[in-house]
Structure 1
Amino acid sequence: MHDTTPLSLLRIDRYLAEWIEPAVVRARHRLAVESWEVPDEPVPFAHARGAQYAPFAVGTPWGLPWGTVWFHVTGAVPADWPQDGTRVELAVDLGWMAQQPGFQAEGAAWSPDGVLVKGISPRNAWVPLPQEGGAAVDLYIEAAANPDVPQDAWTKPTPMGDRATAPKDPQYTLRAIDVVLIDETVAELVADARALRGLVDVLPAGSTRRAQVVAVLEELCDVVDPEDVAGTAARGREVVAAALAAPAPAGAHTVHAVGHAHIDSAWLWPVRETVRKVSRTVANVLALMDADPDVTFAMSSAQQYAWLEEHYPELFERLRARVAEGRIVPVGGMWVESDTNMVGSEALVRQFLEGKGYFERAFGVEPTSVWLPDSFGYTGAFPQVARLAGCPDFLTQKLSWNDTNRIPHHTFWWEGIDGTRVFTHFPPVDTYNSDLSARELVHAEVEFREKAHATHSLAPFGYGDGGGGPTREMVAQGHRSASLEGSPRVVIDSPDDFFAAAKAEYGELAPSWVGELYLEYHRGTYTSQSRTKRGNRRSEHLLREAELWAATAAVRAGADYPYEELQRLWRVVLLNQFHDILPGSSIAWVHREAERSYEEVAEALVGPAGLVPAALRALGVAPGAVANAAPFERDGVAPLAIAAPSPATPAELTRDGDDWVLTNAGVTVRLDARGLVVSAVVGRPDGSRREAIPAGHVGNLLQFHQDIPNTWEAWDIDRHYRRLVTDLDVADVLEPAAAPDGGPALRIVRTFSGSSVEQLLWLAGGDDPTLHVRTHVDWHERQKLLKLAFPVDVHSHEATSEIQFGHVTRPTHANTSWDAARFETVAHRWVHVGEPGFGVAVANDASYGHDITRAPDADGRSVSVVRVTLLRAPLFPDPVADQGEHTFHNAVTFGAGVADAIRSGYGLNLPLRTVAGGAGGTDAGGTGEVAPLVTVSSPAVVVEAVKLAQDRSGDVVVRLYESHGARAAVRVGLGFAHTGVVLTDLLERPLGEAAEGEDGVELELRPFQVVTLRVRRS
């Protein structure tokens, strides 16, 4: 018999699209429209309500890119509209594009008394209205003319990312603002039919269930009269009822559907627009909850709640009521959904300290699950930080994007570098923007790796990225799939309930994944938008300094501690660590704002009236003294202390034929006429000398690559970039110069393509075997990549890279597909390659991207090649990304161990600060010395933060960690009067009394363990 199913489906699809769905709207009534165009940035409702409005005709263009137009809509519900089986709504079409909501025009409907009633976007463009015939309609529509960014243009330059370059023409045309009469029976029939039609696409072609569902849908077409859909819709629902009532089997996979809207705190829109996106989305959710008591909504990012509290207080109070009911669920516990690769150690802590602190204050709740569906890979330090912040559960989605290998689990224990584990789930639905369609639900069941032992997965549903959230159509699909043969079971649920069910079923059996969760994609985010990354790095370290000296001033001199200002500045930095800001993957507008905010942070911390000078003045430090905020002694100044420096014997620069030679007591570095390092001979403890540059290779080699990713320009570096490389080995200028410390240096100038580089190379005084390389680049490239290479005569199978609170080792070979996929990796302040007894560390002051590989020397033996990625030049989403001037400082320490690398990294990023003024020393007899508040007896234990407690009690909080990856016994000395010491979690809550002896607190630390001490002052 001939298979007629394809013909049947054509008939069904046509009936739905051409007759049944259009019949949902029984009648339509046009309203009167007036408009007012905001001349500049968005304004509050109270301002807009008082503006002068003019008549506006439907069909008229509106909205300059990034502009706002307010429409005042008035009229009445027709008095003769029937009320039985119907509802009245406002339907708006601002000129929607076909693409996903959140990437084009959006609107918000306001009542005349200032209530944000609902957001308006494509596929969710209804607003509730009074149901009585003759009822007045009076609404204001705040219409945002955000430029449309079609997904097929996401590799192309666009002027839309900056108001200065965007066109000055209206972008949209108002198509409709009407009162509509909705036939509720037809609307329910559409939901029924769509649920069954979706099943047809996922059921096996020869299955009985599929044949039955197709037959039922054909019968639906038979009984629903195209000329009288409203009159026959009830009969149509009767026809499909039995098919919808066929239950899922008892052992069916269960999808915990959690309403969600992943809202990027900035991306293809500026932060100011995100504030409005959050308000529109929350208004949508509240309207949906009013209509359906089963809807729940998980919302992360304390920053986004704080925006609502500040800018939309009435909406925030309605949200707060739903939080109290447990229907809106704060998740994540972080200030924003941050990047985790590049965020510094203490900043990662502060994401939780500020985030959880906000949730406790605002709602009296504490999220216990980390919610990072879209960050670009996850540091191996994260499990410990999450656990210590009170988050034993972790959810992400992004690893499903891997371009080479698949993580072999969806539900598992993730173990960090210190051995801490968190219960982790990757939703197998493979999206954080699910619509709960049959196709997505079945995909979740089919892909779920643990299906032999577990039956629970989570699906975040709702429009995201640009916001919008769940829709009533999605919820309708979820309800119909609660128990439906051919589909996984669906329960509309909360994240906490999912994690409880998953752990109860599978927690003891779940497998483990050890170490970082490396995303095999978006490797360019370690480098794109260099100024943003530099601003983040500098701000993190300046905040460390400010807290240290402010705490010291409070304890030593009774100065007021600047709690509010430090919190404000931290929150600025934490916001800019969002996973599309710090990674460099936003429009130009976003990065320009981020860079300006970093300048303001620096001014507030170290400007003439900044917190650091104020603390030093309060301490009475004499001019010329040196403040050492690093955790290691430098120039004779103790760690975390202030004293007069002890200058070392300066280095020398000499000429030897065409070569230049830099020398100090620790190393001799030879550069040839090209300005390339051809030799670095290190003195060793036994008196021998060791060459660090392998035969046939040169260091300080700048390499220039073509860099055209396959898709996401700012995000990706694809491995084919290595095929096209130019060595920049011609020096235009090579001459002596002065180093920043006043010693000798070598100045090198190179020009290439449309850009130029000026380098300064020098050695510090004394016996420090560290070559400093300062590289100033005037960058005017497109789709290019610049790296700084240092081949070193070290035979090693792996490289060590700093991450938060420790380091990781990664193979330098490509034996497996997992190894090969890590061709670009992230590191914080340093990387290290070594063999027993000898290694080389390369530190940086603002870079994150590296590649560390192996190459043959002149004799064919493998040596190590360390390359730091300095700059990229992607075209999307910012077509002028990183154009202009940049300066990088690298420090190459020859003969270094990991401990030396740690010292170099801290030293480079926390330079000694010479005190510019004061009233004379108040400590140690007025010599300008200030003793440290905290000392540690073990060189392996690093003090990461010294501050006063978040609760303003005046207690001193000290955070430290074991840095070498080994167990360490340490005595923590406290140089001030105190009455007790407690161990705390990262939120500064007590975990137990610390063991305090006569000489300080005695601790036994595990490898990479983080410890927080809270000291009660006398």
Structure 2
Amino acid sequence: MTTAVPPTRNIVVERVEKFISDTYFTDVNIKGRIYTHFEPSAVQLQVSERCDRIPYRDALNLKYEACTVGRSFGPSWATYWFKLDIEVPSTMKGKEVHLLWNSNSEALIWRDGVPIQGLTGGTWVDKRIEFKLTNNSSGNEKYHLMVEMACNGMFGVGKDGLINPCDPDKTFALSKCELAVFDNECYQLYTYFTMLYDIAKNFPEGSLRSNQALYVANNMINYCDINARETWAPCIKMAKEFFSQKNGDSQHSVLATGHCHIDVAWLWPYAETKRKAARSFATQILYMDYYPDYQFVQSQAQLYSWTKQLYPELYDKIKQKVKSGQFVTTGGTWVEMDGNLPSGESFIRQFLFGQRFFKQEFGAYCTEFWLPDTFGYSGQLPQVIRHMGIANFITQKLSWNNINKFPHSSFHWEGIDGSRVLCHFPPANTYNSAADVKEVVLSMTNNKDAQRANNSLLVYGHGDGGGGPTIEMLERLTKMPNTDGIPKVTLGSPRDFFERLQVDAHKLNAWVGELYFELHRGTYTSQANCKRGNRKCEFLLHDVEAVSTILDANRVESFKYPNLNEQWELLLLNQFHDVLPGSSIGLVYKDAAEHHKKIESDCIQHLNGSLGLLGSATGTDVLFFNPTGFTVEKVIELPINTIPTPQISSSGKSLALIKVPAYGFTKMSATAMTSSLSSSAVLSTVQLTVKIDESNSDHYQISNSFISLSIKKDGTISSLVDRALNRQVIVPGQFGNRFVLYDDIPLFWDAWDVEIYSQEKSKLAGPATSSRVLESGPLRVIVEFEHANFAHQSTLKQRVIMYANTSRVDFETNIEWHEAHKMLKVEFPTTLRATTASYDIQFGHVQRPTHFNTSWDVAKFEVCGHKWADLSEYDFGLALLNDCKYGYSVHSGVMKLSLLRAPKAPDADADMGSHQFTYSLYVHKGNLQQGDVVAQGYQVNCNLYSQLVDADYQILPTLISVAGSNSAVLETIKRAEDNNGYIVRVYESFGGHTNFHFVSDLSIKNIQEVNGLEEPITPTTQIKLNTKVGLTPFQLKSFRIQL
């Protein structure tokens, strides 16, 4: 039968839609015939008592009772286990039989103690409620299954909305538990109908293929009688004839790879993620048996590690499928971390721990970096990626930009050092593709570089909360490998895709510098205590490794090098791109706080224990250790008061100005100080003092040899002058250190976003209500300010500190924060004029505009920086430093540091409570390179460690330091992963070419350059202590040192 498509096209389109609808006319349409012969009575159901997340073996010992459909279970995050005793009715003999289960929650089917398939209840598009019992029932066969029901949905338990705070009392109803006959022929016909509908609906109206698809679908409906099976095969034949029409040679190619994006925490805690991984992996392994060509890609070593620990039988299946090539490892990192906030060394360790795991468990490193979802991309990532043995990168998030559209889909990304990675943004603009015709075609039409490289990657499968591809997705993809009008589709892996893309890589353009994400700028600031914990733990782990390596190299008696893998893995876990940025529920931050607390406690214990081996509790002298690559001169409180010093602190401790060499020691006694580089006195012989004038009723005047500061008694700065240049830093008539509260109501993503319009509505926070001088020199001056009426429900206490030996002023701040939808910034209007400001990032810095000339400039109204931001003219500048903040804004001479936010979703209590942080102003001559800004950033963040020693204690020889260059920074000293020597990492910090050489007091046999995986770089070059080693701008190099 043939008919013409009538002119009322929209009516025919809707006719097809209703024929495949799961809502309308299901009694007479094709969708309503996929399942028949429903048998609830075939399943005898028992349910356990409420329990926590427990192993299968423990679930066997729970108390069970009879249960019926319709019962509700809760509250949120509870677990129930069900026993299902199934007997397939004889009426289903010869049929494909499925179990249908909908608990409106997540669940996992177990058989004989092994997880078999995950289930997702509810009515969303991610619903997965079917489990195939048998392809061909023999009738009356019996099955015993268990179902582990989690009282949460795919996206947690938000109250009346996806990202709303958790509803602790949510319940989930078991609405379906029954057997049904699955009609595969009907399902095939249904799938063809949906694909024809997609073409008719989504191709340009009036186009040939759209009209043809609608014509065929209409004819199929006319011919099809849902009650007459003999009419189905001719309809399927019509569809196959349509889909068998081939493309030409020039048609775009799409490689489709199955994926399950699992946020290791987000709207659910870590504990639930472990079960999400099991549900997702079990399902996909089952599907691999159904579809031999199906390849599923999964990143994040942490997920594999959890599965290995908690689900060993499932993990064995994963290893088998990895070996067969169907389960594809990717990414190379421990988790999909945030691309802005972790330190450079944390980036390295993400790959080191991830790649090492994949190599040990599966025999090979990952060949591509997989980070589809993140909230920014540091300009140093390309070098880190290459340093870790990876050359390819897949991401997607920039498609969310809300101001400018990123101009490329396939391109070379060039980092700040010049390193390049081959990069692809899947043009379907999702890492959770439904694998329908619309998104396959979008992979072609939205590919901005198709004229250069006619290939795209399609990443399909339900994600964020896990799940992965469905049978429906796989059926669609296998039906359109080469259909006229649709890109050519093949199933494969990311490696397969990059092998295709590499052929045309020479034609592609390059993007230089950071990939700035024009959204989620609030993640530089949200959940401030988590960010503080991360920064502190990064430095503590660094310090433990530094002191441990030095003691190990010096063969200190009784010293044993600590195993820090557990601590590093916890830190890396909490750098996940929904945790460290601050966009998870409150439960996640309770976990993160405990993790950071453990890391901090363990590190302090290691530090005290290690340094304790060098000294004595009854020692008369003090040994200081400097864990940084810079000589540090610092005013500190001594652990004993028996050494005469110029000043006693407000807490009753002796103050001294100490100078300690890089990665070295200084010993202080009542008569002399010695260091690990020299036996001469290291305390400056120049008489350095700082003093305060309290005579003015309006302000305090504090000055040292370098700067003069006028700070009003309301806590604001009216003047900051470089004394040598007589240069005023603060705009006359305006005030620095002013706290400003901005209205902070984004368009949707509360914890994620701050919007540019927030700058249009602000007010000053309450001024200081009292002040007092705590210390008045000569080494340190401290003035304390209290803001009793700081904001609506918040108070602030701040100590402003100036030292005798530096032009840096520290602002140690404590705040009790209880606001709603406010963002707190501290601001400094400066007299400096520069078109760019510089911001500290991993192993270097980037420059960003201080104006709004273009839309690309406007988009950067809030940016990410680490330890400092600097605004410099050619001969003078000001740096704004911090010890745990990341959000900056520098425009028109005004420097702003974002301190706190108060979002209410997904954590209603985000940032409420106590906060401690320090920010600093550092006035310097010359630009940031000449002004010692990089070193100051480390000083604000690093501690000098002290240990009492006996008077005759001899300082340990220096293991390693660098010399001959002002810009070469020795960042890391650690033991090699294989225990064969030590690893040191050096980077160029100024953005120029330089040469350095290593210095050591020990006998070094060999220095060899290695990559981040600690493998030799070929060709091997012999390096000695006096060998000049070259660095290009912002280049990072790692070396193995053997004694």
Q: TM-score, normalised by structure 1?
A: 0.93
Q: CA deviation at 1:742?
A: 7.7
Residue 452 of structure 1 deviates from its aligned partner by 1.9
Displacement, 1:980? 1.2
Distance 2:185 2:914 in 1: 64
Answer with 483-492 or 13-22: which moved more: 13-22
1:914 matched to 2:957 = no
Aligned to 2:876: 838
Please say if residues 781 and 873 of structure 1, whose CA atoms lie closer than 8 Å, have aligned partners that are also in contact. Answer: yes
Task: Give the conservation status (yes or no) of the 8 Å contact 1:996–1:1002.
Answer: no
1:370-393 superposed Cα distances (whole Å, 9 cap, x missing partner): 100001110000000000101100
Label 1:156 to 1:302 Cα distance change in 2 as closer, same or farther (>3 A). Answer: closer
Go from structure 1 to structure 2 and tell me whether the alpha carbon gap of 1:952 and 1:741 turns closer, same or farther (over 3 Å shift).
Answer: farther
**2:870/2:877 contact within 8 Å kept:** yes
Structure 1 unmatched runs, 5+: 96-104, 161-165, 855-863
- Percent identity between matched residues is 31
1:49 match: 60
| Distance (whole Å) between structure 1 residues aligned to residue 562 and residue 547 of structure 2 | 16
- 1:984 counterpart = 2:983: no
Range that drifts further, 59-68 or 957-966? 59-68
One-letter amino acid of the counterpart of residue 49, structure 1? L
Match of 1:881 among 894, 910, 921: 910
- Please give the secondary structure, in 2, of the residue aligned with 1:990: coil
Kindly state the Cα deviation for residue 6 of structure 1 after the two structures are TM-superposed: 1.8
Question: 1 CA distance for matches of 2:474 and 2:1017?
Answer: 43
Residues 20-31 of structure 1 aligned to structure 2 (within 5 Å)? 20-30=30-40, 31=42
Q: Does 1:762 align with 2:801?
A: yes
Shift of 1:35: 4.0
Structure 1 residues 272-671: aligned runs within 5 Å = 272-504=271-503, 506-558=504-556, 565-606=563-604, 610-620=605-615, 624-635=622-633, 636-644=659-667, 649-657=688-696, 658-671=698-711
Q: Is 816-825 or 753-762 further displaced after alignment?
A: 753-762
- 8 Å contact kept, 1:456–1:501: yes
Residue 129 of structure 1 aligns to a residue whose secondary structure is: strand
Change (3 A) 1:210 1:560: farther
Q: Could you say which residue in structure 1 is the equivalent of 2:246?
A: 247
- How far apart are the structure 2 equivalents of 1:552 and 1:435? 54
Q: Indicate the residue corresponding to 1:99 in structure 2.
A: none
* C-alpha separation in 1, matches of 2:559 and 2:220: 73
Change (3 A) 1:243 1:997: closer
Alpha-carbon distance between aligned partners in 2 of 1:573 and 1:242, rounded to the nearest angstrom: 56
Contact kept? 1:155, 1:712, Cα under 8 Å: no
Moved more, 316-325 or 631-640: 631-640
The question of whether the paired residues in 1 share the 8 Å contact of 2:1008 and 2:1022 is answered with no
Contact persistence 1:434–1:463 (CA under 8 A): yes
Matched-pair contact (CA < 8 Å) for 2:44–2:86: no
Query: Structure 1 residue 945 and structure 2 residue 983: aligned?
Result: no
Q: Aligned partners of 1:124 and 1:139: how far apart in 2?
A: 17
In structure 2, the residue matched to 1:931 is 958
Quote the residue 2:12 is aligned against. Answer: 8
- Matches of 2:6 and 2:778 in 1, distance apart? 88
SS at match of 2:593: helix
Give yes or no for contact 1:705–1:721 (8 Å, CA) kept in 2.
Answer: yes
Match of 2:101 in 1: 92
Q: Name which of structure 1's ranges 72-81 and 882-891 shifts more when overlaid on structure 2.
A: 72-81
* Contact 1:669/1:677, CA 8 A, preserved across alignment: yes
Post-superposition shift, 1:619?
3.6
Q: Cα deviation per residue 1:93-149 (whole Å; 9 max; x = unaligned)?
A: 113xxxxxxxxx1110001x2111111114322223244322111100001111566
CA distance in 1, matches of 2:562, 2:394: 32
**Cα distance change of structure 1 residues 632 and 554 upon mapping to structure 2, 3 Å threshold:** same
Match of 1:209 in 2: 209
Report the Cα distance in structure 2 between the residues aligned to 1:998 and 1:487, rounded to whole angstroms: 60
**Which among 747, 750, 763 is matched to residue 713 of structure 1?**
750
| SS of residue in 1 equivalent to 2:592 | helix
Report the secondary structure of 1:720's partner residue: helix
Q: Are the aligned partners of 1:408 and 1:449 in contact in 2 as well (CA < 8 Å)? A: yes
Return the alpha-carbon distance in structure 2 between the equivalents of residues 14 and 729 of structure 1: 62
CA deviations over 1:666-692 (Å, ceiling 9, x no partner) = 1111112322111111133xxx42222
- TM-score using structure 2 length: 0.91
Whichever residue aligns with residue 919 of structure 2, its letter is N
The question of 1:129 aligning with 2:167 is answered no
Separation (CA, whole Å) in 2 of partners of 1:713 and 1:118: 34
**Are the counterparts in 1 of residues 715 and 785 from structure 2 also a CA contact under 8 Å?**
yes
Deviation of the 1:518 alpha carbon = 0.4
Distance across 1 between alignment mates of 2:561 and 2:752: 37
The offset of 1:39, in angstroms, is 4.2
- CA drift at 1:975: 3.1
Q: Matched residues in 2 for 1:362 and 1:87: separation?
A: 37
Structure 2 counterpart of 1:67: 78
Distance 1:379 1:156, change over 3 A: closer
- Structure 1 residue 1002: Cα displacement: 2.2
The answer to whether the 8 Å contact 1:432/1:460 transfers is yes
Moved more, 12-21 or 937-946: 12-21
| Structure 2 Cα separation of the partners of residues 264 and 248 of structure 1 | 38
Deviation at 1:454, TM superposition (A): 2.1
Q: 1:554 to 1:533 in 2, by over 3 A?
A: same
The Cα of 1:979 is off from its aligned counterpart by: 2.0
User: Aligned partners of 2:625, 2:410: CA distance in 1, in Å?
Assistant: 48
Give 1:673-692 correspondences, 5 Å limit. Answer: 673-684=713-724, 688-692=725-729
* Pair 1:742–1:593, CA change in 2 (3 A): farther
Aligned letter for 1:201?
K
Please provide the CA RMSD for this pair.
Answer: 2.0
Instruction: Check 1:484–1:733 CA distance in 2 against 1; reply closer, same or farther (3 A cut).
Output: same
Does 2:825 align with 1:819? Answer: no
Cα displacement string for residues 692-747 of structure 1 (whole angstroms, at most 9, x for unaligned residues): 21223211111111111111000000011111111236220122124999832111
State the alpha-carbon separation in 2 of the partners of residues 40 and 26 from structure 1. Answer: 35
Q: Partner letter of residue 749 of structure 1? A: E
1:929-977: per-residue Cα shift (whole Å, max 9, x none)? 5534334332211111100001122x11101101111111101123322
Give the Å deviation of 1:620. Answer: 4.0
Q: Given residue 980 of structure 1, which amino acid in structure 2 is its aligned partner?
A: N
AA at the equivalent of 2:939: G
Q: Which amino acid aligns with 2:916?
A: T
User: Which has the larger displacement, 493-502 or 130-139?
Assistant: 130-139
Residue 748 of structure 1: how far off its partner (Å): 1.1
Gaps of 5+ in 2: 122-126, 634-658, 669-681
Aligned to 1:857: none
Does the C-alpha gap of structure 1 residues 32 and 693 become closer, same or farther in structure 2, counting only changes over 3 Å? same
Count of equivalent residues: 974
Indicate if the aligned counterparts of 1:378 and 1:516 stay in contact, CA closer than 8 A. yes
State the alpha-carbon separation in 1 of the partners of residues 50 and 156 from structure 2: 23
Q: What are the Cα deviations for residues 596-634 of structure 1, in whole angstroms up to 9, with x where unaligned?
A: 11011000000xxx1111221234476622111121112
- Secondary structure at the counterpart of residue 190 of structure 1: helix
Query: Counterpart amino acid of 2:797?
Result: E
Distance 1:845 1:156 in 2: 30
| Corresponding position of 1:893 | 922
Matches of 1:452 and 1:191, distance apart in 2: 32
Which stretch of structure 1 is more off in the superposition, 588-597 or 215-224?
A: 215-224
State the alpha-carbon separation in 2 of the partners of residues 92 and 997 from structure 1.
66
Q: Which residue of 2 aligns with 1:858?
A: none
Moved more, 992-1001 or 821-830: 992-1001
Report the Cα offset of residue 525 of structure 1: 0.1
Q: Note closer, same or farther for the CA distance 1:256–1:150 as it changes in structure 2 (3 Å cut).
A: farther
Answer yes or no: is the 8 Å Cα contact 2:13–2:201 preserved in 1: no
Distance in structure 2 (CA, Å) of the matches to 1:741 and 1:885: 32
Aligned positions of 1:702-741 closer than 5 A:
702-728=739-765, 730-738=767-775
Residues 996 and 438 of structure 1: CA distance in aligned 2, closer, same or farther (over 3 Å): closer
The answer to whether residue 151 in structure 2 is matched with residue 145 in structure 1 is yes
SS class of match (2:708): strand
